[in-house]
Amino acid sequence: MLLSTSASIVIALLMGIAGVAFVLWQLKRVFAYDQGNELMREIGTAIQEGASAFLAREYRVIAVFVAIVATVIAVFLQWQTAFCFVSGAIASAGAGYLGMYVAVRANTRTASAASRGLHEGLRVAFGSGAIMGMSVVSFSLIGMTLLFLIFNGDPNQLTYITGFGFGASSIALFARVGGGIFTKAADVGADLVGKIEKGIPEDDPRNPAVIADNVGDNVGDVAGMGADLFESYSGSIIAAATLGAALGNGSTVAYIGLPFLVAAVGVISSLFGIYMVIGKERDESEAANASYYSKSVYYLSQYVAKINENASLEDLLTALRRSVWGASVVVLGLTLLAVLMSGLHFNYWLVIVTGLVAGNAIAYVTEYFTSYTEKPTLAIAEATQTGAATTIIQGLAVGMMSTALPVLITAFAILISIWLGHKADGTLAAGLYAVALAGVGMLSTLGVTLATDAYGPVADNAGGIAEMSHLPEEVRQRTDALDSLGNTTAATGKGFAIGSAVLTALALIAAYVSAAKIESLDILAPTMLPGLLIGAMMPYLFSALTMMAVGKAAHEIVLEVRRQFQEIPGLMEGTGKPDYKTCVGISTESALREMILPGALAVLVPIIVGHVLGKEALAGLLIGTLLSGFLLAVMMANAGGAWDNAKKYIETGEYGGKGSDSHKASVVGDTVGDPFKDTSGPSLNILIKLMTIVSLVFASSFGSGWLSF
Amino acid sequence: MLLSTSASIVIALLMGIAGVAFVLWQLKRVFAYDQGNELMREIGTAIQEGASAFLAREYRVIAVFVAIVATVIAVFLQWQTAFCFVSGAIASAGAGYLGMYVAVRANTRTASAASRGLHEGLRVAFGSGAIMGMSVVSFSLIGMTLLFLIFNGDPNQLTYITGFGFGASSIALFARVGGGIFTKAADVGADLVGKIEKGIPEDDPRNPAVIADNVGDNVGDVAGMGADLFESYSGSIIAAATLGAALGNGSTVAYIGLPFLVAAVGVISSLFGIYMVIGKERDESEAANASYYSKSVYYLSQYVAKINENASLEDLLTALRRSVWGASVVVLGLTLLAVLMSGLHFNYWLVIVTGLVAGNAIAYVTEYFTSYTEKPTLAIAEATQTGAATTIIQGLAVGMMSTALPVLITAFAILISIWLGHKADGTLAAGLYAVALAGVGMLSTLGVTLATDAYGPVADNAGGIAEMSHLPEEVRQRTDALDSLGNTTAATGKGFAIGSAVLTALALIAAYVSAAKIESLDILAPTMLPGLLIGAMMPYLFSALTMMAVGKAAHEIVLEVRRQFQEIPGLMEGTGKPDYKTCVGISTESALREMILPGALAVLVPIIVGHVLGKEALAGLLIGTLLSGFLLAVMMANAGGAWDNAKKYIETGEYGGKGSDSHKASVVGDTVGDPFKDTSGPSLNILIKLMTIVSLVFASSFGSGWLSF
């Protein structure tokens, strides 16, 4: 039996609903954990209030932004696109809100659970991450499928739905760029006064910026990463469906249905992977008499059982890796079924496999370059012996070197995908559809990969709370183990995010070229080269702006923290109460203010270039941004991750350990790496995708350009 | 009367010979100056011997390399191309050798002349720079025109002459990459032990690496910059001639002659500009009774007369700027004549103007971003207050920000040139010819712009010699003023070098596309995207390798300098004699060894991609490298220049001056900037051009690729 497109869409909708059911169940489960002692609850409440204040403020600005853009779209394009735009924004913002809501409540519960054992802690933190992961996937699927059903039969159906991607991109802009500035401004501001001027430890409740810092962790790695991948996930499906619509000579629409179907089976696989981490151990006797189903659950659970109290970082990492790999194996089987049931060529399954393998390969390379068990990061640690300058040089060199393999992997994946698609259907268009499908494949297990990522800040916060509320040393050790693990998964997550951003953007560019009815895109055409050059420059300009923004915002925090230490009596002695809220407010305001210019550039430059230099030059602009942004993003993310871990390596006692000159040099590297890996680098994913989706949405409005000849 | 191509070529040859005559005259003039006292001569001799040792060793390796490549070319292509290749290598190496030979002999003479006055010092140092500048221009012109005449009548004439560009590129690879590693390894190695471990000042004769450091200045900024621009200069003329050959439907060959004619009148203009700096002051009475010619010389000399003993940095800069601007004005007039006499469309003159304006505009922007009288560098100086990390972040942000205008200027220049060419002849091919011609225009005044650049290390060395030989404080002040000026002109020179590299590479890519008989270069073609991606990655890989190379080579110097301090009795007390030669030898060996991998990548990757992915993908590779390399090169060069000058600003006494915490942070910035601005950044010019010329030379050997479908 072959599946019709409508059937595929309905299946995807149902799987989205299943995902929501899981989220609700998991919410109940996480909230059932206790929040620890009074002090922990107090700190937890402060973080929750800070997060709420940030989100309330940010979402108010977003609402205005969305209203304005929606009006522009409705006036200049169609109301349907505007409607989809608003839907996309709401779906992404909703997932982000839920993820943040849970994360800032799971942190105290993780700290508390960690006092009972390592696996208990992991279960709560990971459960919270899973809520974020599954919300992103489900909300995206439900949103897109509902819109698809609403506009069913309308020939411009897919054009409208690009608006959903634009809506998601807009939220990602705020969450990633604004959030990235917030998180690092608070972090750097807190450290500059706290650690350096006042000599108090990190995560000290006396520091007025400490809550802003804790909120920031969640803003960056939960809401930011979530919105980034929500955008890639939606974008890759939209791009695949749009490119698919042009295939098969209209005789079959299975091409449109397939990406939805792949996403749908991805939900099942992700749930399976998540279960491998949070599932309970069962005892042998129970298993012996159990049903076949329960038995298999038992054996699967035994993977989990490896996480015992003496688990090393490697053990924990293995546990998480198994869950991602387990999900990947399941998705491979189910997507084969999906391709066969769609009646499409077997090659398309190979394309999905290519995407999945490429994503994991990039993540693996990222881990290699940023983990302190490997040569590149060790070389940075070694370079700390000759001071801060050599530490920086070595780190930048490692970051640059680390671009080679991800680029080769991506280039190879693109080449194979195009070749497979071309072989299957004999057209270049099928090849580009295959690239989009590879992107969908790469992101099919997003539910679980994002969970491994979004749990990190929860563990990080839990550690801070354990520190601030003076829990026993062993609890802190456990949360530290969870946190270290989170750092590694965060680095690999960033590799995944940029890899998927590239494939998604490329697919969206192909969709743009088709939507703008561009016949030929000769690389030596008059306006193409200027387009490419300006495009390649955009990531540099954007990074410069976001890096400077962190500096300015951090400076404001510094002034406020200094003021509080001066004006609040007994603050240093622990008798006065710091005003956490003002610091959160300042971080929020400055982050929102500083993102205006880079954000406006990302939205306006494509529109300006499209009108002035024409639609061909705009394609050049997008390719230029993609190329240069990909490289710069990987370089920044990996250099930042490697510096961070080189510092952590020295803190284990190598090269003189904490307080040594080597350590000081490594701190310089880590501080430079902070905006690299948490603000500017990840923001480039957004730049690449946002510029592309803006071009796609406005594709029909561009002509040959005022300056064309 | 319209000029035939042959007439244009002969005029260019004659102008080349006139340039050589100037060089000979100037050699006599510089060598007539005295070399100062015994100690100065002793130090001078050590530097000269070091430079000779380096050059002898390097040129031996180059000879082997050239012999091998020439054989490969002769076997797989034609003997004529191999002959041109060898000619190009010899011409470039000859100019580099002469420039170095003079530079390391002009340093003592500059120190000595500076004790008589500021202008005297400038005259010697600038005279030495002018020898380099005019040698580059003349040797290139003579070489190309002679080859043109030798192969006159052969239909493959221009194909052969691309070999000349390849030869020049090969020398540039050694001079810029190998030289860049040498210069920074010696610099960093000398500083790490001397300044930091032993606490002795820079330029202290007890430091065994001090001579290597002094030699390195000349290797980098005289030989390296010279070979880089020799390559651009020759490449832009070759590209223009090659593209011009396809124009005019064979009815006229003026298109081939024009670039040569522009270069020829550029020689006259450069000589004029140089005279404005080195000309002697005349007194009023002499002028009153003089001939009209002498009178005009007198008034011109009055420009120079502004350089008095109390001249500020600004005054000196104005003097040099006037000479460049003066040359530009002359070139504008003469090229108009050249275009008219070629019988070509007036638009081509506008194209030349566009190139010249663009080059100067990029240089101006570079100066703005790297001069400590301007906001960007001052912001870095301010950031030093909060430590090394913020200094690095701000510097990187400034570097990234500084890419925007050069990219816009270049994009605009390309757009205008293509438009003008297109308007003139109605074809896109004419537009691409115009881009190449704009490159020729940008470099037409190279004789004088390179002089303003190559004089810097001479002044720098002179300062070191003044320091080491204990000349009076006022002499050191004068050489310091000349040195500061050299730093500014070096920064603008780098802007010029990258700008011209981009236009030249673009023109060479267009020539490659035509030579490889590529019909269509669709940006979304299957192998194009992988080509673009891999191309964009190359500059990152190349920079990572060159930055790590500096680290490794510097480490070897450190070990040797430590050994000498330990093993040579009385070295620290000034009674023992350091072994300078071993340090020069180690720098040389490690530089030559460490450049093998990056050099091999630059030559082999295009050939591999051309064969595996096909000739279209190779075009993508070249464009990708051009885009990403341009951005990265500008970023690195400007960040490096700005860090350097931020440090110098603090050394004037700001933010606590020398020895303060701000100063220490600024030193970290400067040290990170060293390989940025002197090794990796400039090396990218070579990467971009070398990959392109290799592709052009081997163009006929590439097919559709093994992996094409």
How far off is chain B from A306, nearest CA to CA, in Å?
A: 40
How much is the average pLDDT of A42-71? Answer: 91
Question: Are A415 and B526 an interchain contact pair (Cβ–Cβ within 8 Å)?
Answer: yes
Place of tokens 């041109």: B84
Using CA atoms, how far apart are residues A431 and B91, in angstroms rounded to an integer? 49
Counted across chains A and B, CB pairs separated by less than 8 A come out at 224
Using CA atoms, how far apart are residues A448 and A457, in angstroms rounded to an integer? 16
Using CA atoms, how far apart are residues B181 and B202, in angstroms rounded to an integer? 20
B547 pLDDT above the threshold of 90: yes
A577 pLDDT above the threshold of 90: no
How far off is chain A from B621, nearest CA to CA, in Å?
A: 11
pLDDT score at B19? 96
DSSP character string of B522-582: BTTSTTHHHHHHHHHHHHHHHHHHHHHHHHHHHHHHHHHHHHHHHHSTTTTTTSS---HHH
Nearest to A401 among B544, B550, B624 (CB): B544
Q: Which residues of B touch A621 (CB under 8 A)?
A: none
Mean pLDDT of chain B: 88
A336 pLDDT above the threshold of 90: yes
pLDDT score at B305? 44
pLDDT score at B287? 53
Interface mutation target, options B631, B644, B647, B688, chain A, most CBs of A under 10 Å: B631
Report the percentage of chain A scoring pLDDT > 90.
53
Q: Which residues of A touch B627 (CB under 8 A)?
A: 532-533, 536, 624, 627-628
Question: Are B668 and A389 an interchain contact pair (Cβ–Cβ within 8 Å)?
Answer: yes
How far off is chain A from B383, nearest CA to CA, in Å?
A: 9
**B283: confidence class by pLDDT, cuts 50, 70, 90:** low
pLDDT score at B300? 54
Q: Which residues of A touch B547 (CB under 8 A)?
A: 393, 396-397, 400
Please name which of B708, B523, B533, B695 lies closest in space to residue B612, comparing C-alpha atoms: B708
Using CA atoms, how far apart are residues A181 and B259, in angstroms rounded to an integer? 51
Question: Are B415 and A527 an interchain contact pair (Cβ–Cβ within 8 Å)?
Answer: yes
Question: Are B392 and A392 an interchain contact pair (Cβ–Cβ within 8 Å)?
Answer: yes
Residue B404 parent element (H or E):
helix B404-425
A218 pLDDT above the threshold of 70: yes
**Alpha carbon distances (Å) from A601 to A543, A688, B398, B628, B686:** 12, 12, 18, 20, 32
Nearest to A513 among B404, B415, B524 (CB): B524
Give the residue from chain A lying closest to B619, CA to CA: A523
A674 bridge partner residues: none
Contact B629, B502 (CB under 8 A): no
B602 pLDDT above the threshold of 90: yes
Interval B87-143: pLDDT, tens: 999 999 999 999 999 999 999 999 999 888 887 888 899 999 999 999 999 999 999
Question: Are A520 and B525 an interchain contact pair (Cβ–Cβ within 8 Å)?
Answer: no
User: What single-letter DSSP state applies at residue B279?
Assistant: P
Question: Are A537 and B631 an interchain contact pair (Cβ–Cβ within 8 Å)?
Answer: yes
Lowest mean pLDDT among A234-243, A279-288, B189-198, B549-558: A279-288
How far off is chain A from B278, nearest CA to CA, in Å?
A: 40
User: What single-letter DSSP state applies at residue B282?
Assistant: -
Q: Residue B250 contacts by C-beta under 8 Å, 6 or more apart in sequence? A: none
Question: Are A523 and B527 an interchain contact pair (Cβ–Cβ within 8 Å)?
Answer: no
Question: Are A392 and B672 an interchain contact pair (Cβ–Cβ within 8 Å)?
Answer: yes
**B311: confidence class by pLDDT, cuts 50, 70, 90:** low
Q: Which residues of B touch A517 (CB under 8 A)?
A: none
Nearest to B668 among A388, A418, A544 (CB): A388
Tokens of B488: 């500014």
pLDDT score at B284? 52
Interval A429-440: pLDDT, tens: 899 999 999 999
**Helices A473-515, A313-342: crossing angle, 10 deg rounding:** 30
Question: Are A523 and B620 an interchain contact pair (Cβ–Cβ within 8 Å)?
Answer: yes
Q: Which residues of B touch A635 (CB under 8 A)?
A: 540
Tokens of B585: 């030898």
How much is the average pLDDT of A672-677? Answer: 92
Question: Are A506 and B523 an interchain contact pair (Cβ–Cβ within 8 Å)?
Answer: no
Phi and psi for A522 in degrees, rounded to 5?
-70, 130
Give the residue from chain B lying closest to A421, CA to CA: B526
Q: Residue B120 contacts by C-beta under 8 Å, 6 or more apart in sequence? A: B113, B114
How much is the average pLDDT of B624-644? Answer: 95
A326 pLDDT above the threshold of 80: yes
Phi and psi for A536 in degrees, rounded to 5?
-65, -25
Nearest to A432 among B524, B537, B547 (CB): B524
pLDDT score at A558? 86
Q: Which residues of B touch A547 (CB under 8 A)?
A: 393, 396-397, 400
Residue B179 parent element (H or E):
helix B179-191
**A638: confidence class by pLDDT, cuts 50, 70, 90:** very high
DSSP character string of A496-514: HHHHHHHHHHHHHHHHHHH
Report the percentage of chain A scoring pLDDT > 70.
94
A305 pLDDT above the threshold of 50: no
B253 pLDDT above the threshold of 70: no
Mean pLDDT of chain A: 88
Contact A687, A542 (CB under 8 A): yes
How much is the average pLDDT of A125-132? Answer: 93
How much is the average pLDDT of A585-598? Answer: 90
Rg (CA), chain B: 24
Question: Are B536 and A407 an interchain contact pair (Cβ–Cβ within 8 Å)?
Answer: yes
A522 bridge partner residues: B522
Lowest mean pLDDT among A280-294, A615-629, B131-145: A280-294
Give the residue from chain A lying closest to B624, CA to CA: A627
Predicted complex ipTM: 0.93
How far off is chain A from B405, nearest CA to CA, in Å?
A: 9
User: What single-letter DSSP state applies at residue A522?
Assistant: B
A544 bridge partner residues: none
Using CA atoms, how far apart are residues B508 and B510, in angstroms rounded to an integer? 5
Q: How many CB atoms are closer than 10 A to CB B156?
A: 12
Interface mutation target, options A365, A378, A384, A400, chain B, most CBs of B under 10 Å: A400
Q: How many CB atoms are closer than 10 A to CB A706?
A: 9
Nearest to B534 among A407, A418, A671 (CB): A407
Domain parsing of chain B, residue ranges: 5-514+524-701
pLDDT score at B629? 96
The residue with greater pLDDT, B496 or B667, is B667
pLDDT score at A288? 58
Using CA atoms, how far apart are residues A318 and A248, in angstroms rounded to an integer? 43
Question: Are A526 and B401 an interchain contact pair (Cβ–Cβ within 8 Å)?
Answer: no
Q: Which residues of B touch A668 (CB under 8 A)?
A: 387-389, 392, 668
Contact A503, A439 (CB under 8 A): yes
**A668: confidence class by pLDDT, cuts 50, 70, 90:** very high
B301 pLDDT above the threshold of 60: no
**B53: confidence class by pLDDT, cuts 50, 70, 90:** confident
Report the percentage of chain B scoring pLDDT > 90.
53
Interval A239-257: pLDDT, tens: 999 999 888 655 456 889 9
Question: Are B400 and A432 an interchain contact pair (Cβ–Cβ within 8 Å)?
Answer: no
How far off is chain A from B514, nearest CA to CA, in Å?
A: 11
Using CA atoms, how far apart are residues A151 and A49, in angstroms rounded to an integer? 40
Q: Which residues of A touch B436 (CB under 8 A)?
A: none
Give the residue from chain B lying closest to A398, CA to CA: B544
Q: Residue B303: is it exposed, middle or buried by C-beta count within 10 angstroms (0-12/13-18/19+)?
A: middle
Question: Where would I find the H helices in A225-312?
Answer: 225-245, 254-278, 284-288, 292-305
pLDDT score at B625? 97
How much is the average pLDDT of A440-467? Answer: 90
Question: Are A526 and B422 an interchain contact pair (Cβ–Cβ within 8 Å)?
Answer: yes
Please name which of A686, A690, A506, A707 lies closest in space to residue A615, comparing C-alpha atoms: A707
pLDDT score at A468? 84
Question: Are A526 and B428 an interchain contact pair (Cβ–Cβ within 8 Å)?
Answer: yes
Interface mutation target, options B420, B519, B537, B550, chain A, most CBs of A under 10 Å: B537
Question: Are B543 and A397 an interchain contact pair (Cβ–Cβ within 8 Å)?
Answer: yes
B304 pLDDT above the threshold of 60: no
pLDDT score at B203? 77
The pTM of the full predicted model, rounded to 2 decimals, is: 0.93
Question: Are A547 and B396 an interchain contact pair (Cβ–Cβ within 8 Å)?
Answer: yes
B522 bridge partner residues: A522
